[in-house]
Amino acid sequence: MIVSKEPNITQKLEELRKDISSHDYRYYVLDAPIISDHEYDLLFQELLKLEKNYPDLITPDSPSMRVGGAILSEFREVEHAIPMLSLDNIFLPPDLNDFDQRLKRFLQHQKDITYSVEPKLDGLAVELVYEQGILKIGSTRGNGSMGEDITAQLKTVKSIPLRLHNTQQNLTVRGEVFLPINGFKELNRRRREKGEQVFANPRNAAAGSLRQLDPRITAERPLSFYVYGIADSSVTSSSSLTELYDFLKNIGFKINPLILQCKTTKEILDQYNHLQKIRDLLEYEIDGMVIKVDSFGLQQRLGATARAPRWAVAWKFPGIQATTTLKDVIFQVGRTGAVTPVGILEPVSVNGVTVQRATLHNHDEIQRKNLRIGDRVLIQRAGDVIPEIIMPISEQRTGEEIKIKMPSNCPECKHPLERPNKKDKILRCDNPFCPAQRLQSLIHFTGKSGLDIEGLGKKNMELLFNTGLVKEIPDIFKLKEENLAALEGWGEKSAKKAITAIQSAKTLPFATLLRGLGIRFIGEVTAQLLADRFNTPDELLKVSKEELLEIEAVGEQTAEHLIRYFQEDSTPKLFHKLSELGLTITAHEKKKSLLSDRVFLFTGTLGSVSRNEAKQRVKDNDGQVSTSMTRKVTDLVAGKKAGSKLAKATAMEINVLTEEQFLALVSHRPEED
């Protein structure tokens, strides 16, 4: 009986595989699924059941291969028919010109060369051998001539086609397997929970995932793959990389959308700067750029040395990670009394900047990372943000390291610290006379987020506070030229300038004053909303909680805190003193909405709101939405997989926002310190 059924079963299996493969492709390569996860699961279960009953009918390109399969005892060695070379590096813009000139000379004064300029993915190079359109062998680069057979592991990577579309060709492609940042964070979160060692970066995590003898473990890691070349360009009918990428896309591969054709070194340099700028917005890590001659004809003429092709170079971004020693942990008191641990590091240069401090956020963070004083630590510096300690290098512990203890008293005023509620991770000093809080408040008041008084930056405020010239905000407006000129490092000129700046800061919008006072929960947006509703300090002093709650962005916690602040004796006294010293609130300007004068364009996929919802939020705030990149656009909101619009926006120097930044902008969240 069974025998006569087989032709039908074979056909049914074939159909199921085709169906599932096409859904995999739509989901993992095109990012455009057409069925629900549940419907997909049902199809997959059906396939697994049939294959279980008819194991002889399992094919090497079956989607069931993606779940893992048998545990290996070792990795077999495989030879690369054509060696996998590495790339030479360049470091600076002049190197780029040298490279371009060298190629042009080599090609006997070839005038123009078109380059394919690609993000350099920070993952692992692999080779995939397809025979008659079916994935036969997948391997690591190894030493370039011999790699390790990781076919079973690579088959679990959903964006690697197990069977090529519309072709039964023999083809060997190469590309990069990587772990997207979200997947990396989630993986580390789970490992931390289980008390396992976390991975230092997505690249190590990807390597660790591929080097699993049990491919079912690899299958649980959301690895992805971008193809970036073929072993032998003479087997294709494409005449350039650009054409090849089109072809590879058509037969089922994922191609990085940020690959750009450039015709001049200026264009390449611009793209380098651009990639470096958007680097943090991408969902995967890149560590530089690869510049390749586009034409296969020219590639062949240029050839290769034993180590690397002459037609390509890598241009890495300056490194952002480094290792150093955690020498100490100190506790800093902020203007609202929050006490935060700060790591003091053995000074180390990261990307040209000397780093000697790193934030540690709070005690939970220290415990989660299991940090100790004396540890060797891996640190990272990204953009302008304060450097972070990623993890201790526990292998290098000597046993002399010291556990970090949170203080029970304020390090400045010795007042007992409290953790207002269990959910709050932050320790606070609630002594209103705490000198550290006072100094931080003063620094905030004259600084950029406050009245922005020239000459009264952080260093000078510290000096004024320590010499006793300025103890509280009103003292700033009592300063005289001769007081300042007598200070160390000051002269008559700088004193005069500062006094003029103080004088002109005395006339100010109400919102600026509110913001400058550094009241907890009152950031830029809430200060403006309060000033839109109330015209003077006096009006605010009489406010009721109900009235405050009517204001958008003011919630229960903020309202209660504000009421308490306004009812403290010192608050009306402060306003009174300021007004006596000549502080004048300017007449209220017509209410300006948050986004009037701004035109938004959206690109890429948004994760937590729909496009329409996002556009509505812009309109709710009196902003405008554009559907194409024009000169009127002021802000580009770049979601995941943002492509050419993002490239254009940076070229046009348009403000680029991540989804999170956009949502923070339109949702008027009250700000904390």
Which residues are marked as active site? 120
Strand partners, 409: 416
Q: In angstroms, what is the minimal distance from the CB of 128 to ligand IVH? A: 13
Question: Is there a contact between 233 and 301 (Cβ–Cβ < 8 Å)?
Answer: no
* Shortest distance in whole angstroms from residue 262 CB to ligand IVH: 14
Q: How far is the CB of 316 from ligand IVH (least distance, A)?
A: 9
Which range touches ligand IVH (CB under 6 A), out of 116-124, 130-138, 532-540, 626-634? 116-124
Say whether residue 176 binds ligand IVH (CB under 6 A). Answer: yes
The single residue among 11, 45, 86, 394 that binds ligand IVH, judged by CB under 6 A, is: 86
Q: Which of 131, 129, 132, 130 is nearest to 140 (CA)?
A: 129
Q: How far is the CB of 645 from ligand IVH (least distance, A)?
A: 21
Contact predicate 177/123, CB 8 Å? yes
Chain residues 1-60 in contact with ligand IVH, contact rule CB under 6 A = none
- Interacting stretch for ligand IVH, rule CB under 6 A, among 163-171, 274-282, 307-315, 582-590? 307-315
DSSP string, 74-140: SPPEEE-SS-----EEE-SHHHHHHHHHHHHHHTTS-----EEEEEEESSEEEEEEEETTEEEEEEE
Secondary structure letter of residue 552 according to DSSP: T
Q: Which of 79-87, 201-209, 470-478, 552-560 is the region at the interface with ligand IVH (rule: CB under 6 A)? A: 79-87
Give whichever of 174 and 327 is closer to ligand IVH, judged by the CB atom.
Answer: 174
Nearest-5° Cα angle at 408, 402 to 414:
115
Residue placing its CB nearer to ligand IVH in the complex, 289 or 417? 289
Region binding ligand IVH by CB under 6 A among candidate stretches 84-92, 274-282, 433-441, 626-634: 84-92
Which ranges in 473-624 belong to alpha helices (H)?
A: 473-476, 481-485, 492-505, 510-516, 524-533, 537-541, 545-549, 556-567, 570-580, 611-620
The three-point CA angle 357-285-125 to 5° equals 130
Determine contact, residues 104/92, Cβ cutoff 8 Å.
no
Residue type, 404: I
Element (H, E) at 341: strand 338-350
Total Cβ atoms within 10 A of residue 652: 12
For residue 189, give every residue at least 6 positions away whose Cβ sits within 8 Å of its Cβ, in sequence order, or none.
none
Closest CA to 222 of 147, 123, 320, 126: 123
User: Binders of ligand IVH: how many residues, by CB under 6 A?
Assistant: 14
- Cβ closest to ligand IVH, residue 58 vs residue 255: 255
Q: Which is nearer to ligand IVH, 88 or 220 (CB)?
A: 88
Q: Which residue is nearest to ligand IVH (CB)?
A: 125
- Shortest reach from residue 90's CB to ligand IVH, in Å: 13
| Partner residues linked to 321 by β-bridges | 380
Site string for ligand IVH, 202-241 (x = CB under 6 A): --------------------------xx------------
User: Least distance to ligand IVH from the beta carbon of 289, Å?
Assistant: 8
- Residue 118 vs 148, nearer CB to ligand IVH: 118
User: Residue 76 phi/psi, 5° resolution?
Assistant: -75, 150
- For the bound state, the minimum distance from the C-beta of residue 304 to ligand IVH, rounded and expressed in Å, comes to 8
Applying CB under 6 A, among 24, 51, 118, 635 the residue interacting with ligand IVH is: 118
> Residue 309 interacts with ligand IVH (CB under 6 A)?
yes
Binding site for ligand IVH (CB under 6 A): 85-87, 118, 120-121, 125, 176, 228-229, 290, 309, 312, 314
